[in-house]
Structures are given as C-alpha cells and as structure tokens.
C-alpha cells in the first residue's frame, strides 16, 4: 500500500518568515495530494490540495508544489502569522485493494510561529 513520509516533525519560525513542509510518497499511481491543518483540540480541515496533472497551486499565503517524478510534494507558507500555528498533515490518495481510493496520511508537522 501507499506510504507517506513527512518532514520535519516540528518546525518553529519567526512571525513573518516562511515555512516549508515536505512529504514523499511511495505509490506512483497516487494522483491527489491534500494538506490538512489541525488546530489544538480541533478537527483536521483541508487547506489546499493538488492533483497530479498540476505542478504548483497557490492560495494567498499558502502554496503546494508536486514533483511526480521524484514522488514528493511540499507545502509553503509565506509571511507566517501566529494563527498559522497548528499541526499540518499531508496525504496521498491511492487505489486500495478493494478498488476504491483511500487517503494515506503523513505523521504530521507541528508548526509554531513565534511572535
């Protein structure tokens, strides 16, 4: 099955700096890569996603890049703010043995933005 590795596990940045989180995946057939943000005690919420036919996608201060050849994708947050502090999860969507698509999640990155 799919295996998703996520790095780093913790990341501290000064307010206003950029943050980058990287993920690799194993299944070359995976074709959808969402990123979820989870604030303390809350549910995960989708913040951005990218499909395999696109190399980069941007939404205001966040962007995601995908390199299908190398099987890695990254989340970039610019001009970080204290409210960006949370745990971020990457995921890859691949075909399961039962014939439907499942998300496999990375283990998460705890981002702390220091005012």
Partner 1 sequence: NAGVTQTPKFQVLKTGQSMTLQCAQDMNHNSMYWYRQDPGMGLRLIYYSASEGTTDKGEVPNGYNVSRLNKREFSLRLESAAPSQTSVYFCASSAGTGPSYEQYFGPGTRLTVT
Which parts of this chain interact with partner 1 (CB under 8 A)? 1, 6, 9, 31-32, 34, 42-46, 49, 51, 89, 93, 95-96, 98, 100-108
**Identity of the residue, 81 or 96, whose beta carbon is nearer to partner 1 in the bound complex:** 96
**Identity of the residue, 14 or 100, whose beta carbon is nearer to partner 1 in the bound complex:** 100
Smallest distance, Å, CB 51 to partner 1? Answer: 6
Q: Are 67 and 56 in contact (CB under 8 A)?
A: no
> What residues have CB less than 8 Å from 74, skipping those under 6 apart?
20, 21, 22, 23, 64, 65
Tokens of 61: 């201060």
């Amino acid at each position: 099955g799919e295996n998703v590795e996520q790095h780093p596990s913790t990341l501290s940045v000064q307010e206003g700096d950029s943050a980058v989180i990287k993920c690799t995946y194993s299944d070359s057939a995976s074709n959808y890569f969402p990123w979820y943000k989870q604030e303390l005690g809350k549910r995960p919420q989708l913040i951005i996603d990218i499909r395999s036919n696109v190399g980069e996608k941007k939404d205001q201060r966040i962007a995601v890049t995908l390199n299908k050849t190398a099987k890695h994708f990254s989340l970039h947050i610019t001009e970080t703010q204290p409210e960006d502090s949370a745990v971020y999860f990457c995921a890859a969507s691949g075909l399961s043995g039962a014939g439907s698509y499942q998300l496999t999640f990375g283990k998460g990155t705890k981002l702390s933005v220091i005012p």
